[in-house]
């Protein structure tokens, strides 16, 4: 995996940033004595806790991609070199796309882009109303300009949202494929887990 479950468990157990997850684990698994090992076991079966960890990291601007660049040794076979190069490339791309690890439904694109459009209309209105007589002489031009700004704002919003969705889909696919590739490389003994983290 591109995420080291043991590291996640240790961070949840020791760091106060993840106290909400720790409290949730304590509440769900009251009968268990909590340690890093038991949290690791719990995380391997409870995907929701991992998603919560990823979300906390995203809002804290921390990476949830723990895999590091694999070092290519001169004695590595051709298959090992290919696997390491592909994993390195994929991990770097995942880190670059990490801001798109969630879909755009919860984003504030509407607010940001709508605010820009409204502020632009407001500024043009103030300049025209205060310093010219265009509302009296060419009002249809001014209102047409406002309409064009509103359309451009809507177009910009759709374009940014579509771009986010495309990158989100790319992130999901790449995340899954990279995890499969890492698993396959470990099974075929091209890499060891210790090299990855």
Are 40 and 98 found together in one domain?
no
Are 164 and 195 found together in one domain?
yes
d(CA 94, CA 98): 6
For residues 149-153, give the mean pLDDT.
Answer: 96
Contact of 6 with 36, CB cutoff 8 Å: yes
Are 136 and 106 found together in one domain?
yes
What is this structure's pTM?
0.80
How does pLDDT run across 59-77, given as a tens digit for each residue?
Answer: 888 999 999 999 998 898 9
Are 139 and 51 found together in one domain?
no
User: What percent of the chain is modeled with pLDDT above 70?
Assistant: 100
| Residue 17, token pair as written in the block | 């940033």
Q: Answer yes or no: is pLDDT of 171 > 90.
A: yes
Helix (H, G, I), strand (E, B) or coil at 33: coil
Are 105 and 136 found together in one domain?
yes
Domain end, chosen from 25, 41, 66, is at 66
Are 29 and 118 found together in one domain?
no
Are 27 and 40 found together in one domain?
yes
Domain end, chosen from 66, 84, 109, is at 66
Are 60 and 76 found together in one domain?
no
- 34-37: which pairs have CB atoms within 8 A and are 24 or more residues apart? 36/6, 36/9, 36/10, 37/9
Number of folded domains in the chain? 2
Give whole-number Cα distances, 116 to 48, 125, 164, in Å.
36, 14, 19
Domain end, chosen from 66, 83, 103, is at 66
Are 47 and 122 found together in one domain?
no
As a 3-state breakdown, the chain gives helix, strand, coil percent values, each rounded to 5, of: 75, 0, 25
Are 75 and 55 found together in one domain?
no
Are 57 and 95 found together in one domain?
no
Confidence of residue 161 (pLDDT cuts 50, 70, 90): very high
Are 80 and 51 found together in one domain?
no
Say what the pLDDT of residue 192 is: 87
For residues 151-157, give the mean pLDDT.
Answer: 95
For residues 121-126, give the mean pLDDT.
Answer: 94
Residue 44 is part of which domain span? 1-66
- Calculate the CA 142 to chain-centre distance: 41
């Amino acid at each position: 995996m591109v995420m080291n479950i043991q590291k996640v468990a240790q961070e949840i157990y020791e760091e106060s940033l993840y106290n909400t997850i720790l409290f949730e684990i304590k509440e769900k698994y009251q009968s268990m004595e909590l340690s890093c090992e038991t949290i690791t076991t719990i995380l391997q079966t409870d995907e929701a806790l991992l998603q919560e960890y990823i979300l906390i990291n995203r809002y804290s601007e921390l990476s949830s991609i723990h895999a590091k660049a694999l070092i290519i040794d001169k004695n590595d076979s051709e298959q090992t070199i290919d696997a390491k190069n592909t994993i390195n490339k994929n991990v770097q791309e995942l880190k670059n796309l990490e801001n798109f690890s969630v879909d755009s439904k919860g984003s504030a694109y509407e607010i940001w882009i709508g605010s820009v459009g409204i502020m632009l209309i407001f500024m043009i209105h103030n300049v025209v109303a205060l310093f010219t007589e265009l509302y009296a002489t060419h009002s249809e031009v001014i209102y047409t300009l406002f309409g064009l700004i509103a359309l451009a704002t809507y177009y910009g919003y759709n374009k940014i949202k579509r771009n986010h969705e495309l990158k989100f889909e790319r992130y999901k696919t790449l995340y899954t494929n990279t995890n499969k590739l890492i698993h396959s490389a470990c099974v075929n003994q091209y890499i060891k887990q210790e090299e990855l983290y």
